[in-house]
Amino acid sequence: MWSRVLPALPCAGFFSRMTATHVGSAYIRSPLMTVTVLLFASYADALGTSAIQLDLPGGSTIRDVLGTLASMPGGHRLPPRPLVAINEQYATLQSELRGGEEVAVIPPVAGG
């Protein structure tokens, strides 16, 4: 199964923010949701920014967020399974997003 974002339709409103997901021989349309991804230290350096707004299909998970980040320029420098939090609560790769969340991708830290 794969998703792709459809171009914005000429009309405003709900249908202008849809994605098409290919399942078998059919496309299923689902609304997009927006999440804010916060990046710190070397992760922010790798992607060139400390915050990114992502539009994702409904039902997306942390795994989807990380895959999207990995596909961006510099994203190959992120580890495959970094520590992640959703709204300041630690999350797993399978944690599902509903939209509007703040997703923090946390690099390893050392103290002294």
Q: Which residue has the tokens 């690099």?
A: 107
Q: Which residue has the higher pLDDT, 75 or 6?
A: 75
Query: Is 66 exposed, middle or buried, given 0-12, 13-18 or 19+ CB atoms closer than 10 A?
Result: buried
Q: Which residue has the tokens 């199964």?
A: 1
pLDDT score of 112 = 65
H helical segments located in the chain:
41-47, 62-70
Q: Which residue has the higher pLDDT, 78 or 6?
A: 78
Length of the chain: 112
List, in order of start, the domains of the chain with CATH numbers: 32-106 (3.10.20.30)
Phi/psi class of residue 94: alpha, beta or left (left: φ > 0; alpha: ψ in -120 to 50)?
alpha
| CA separation, residue 76 to residues 8, 38, 44, 99 (Å) | 29, 17, 13, 25
Distance CA 71, CA 86 (A): 21
pTM: 0.73
| CA separation, residue 68 to residues 10, 26, 56, 111 (Å) | 26, 23, 9, 30
Q: Is the pLDDT of residue 23 over 50?
A: no
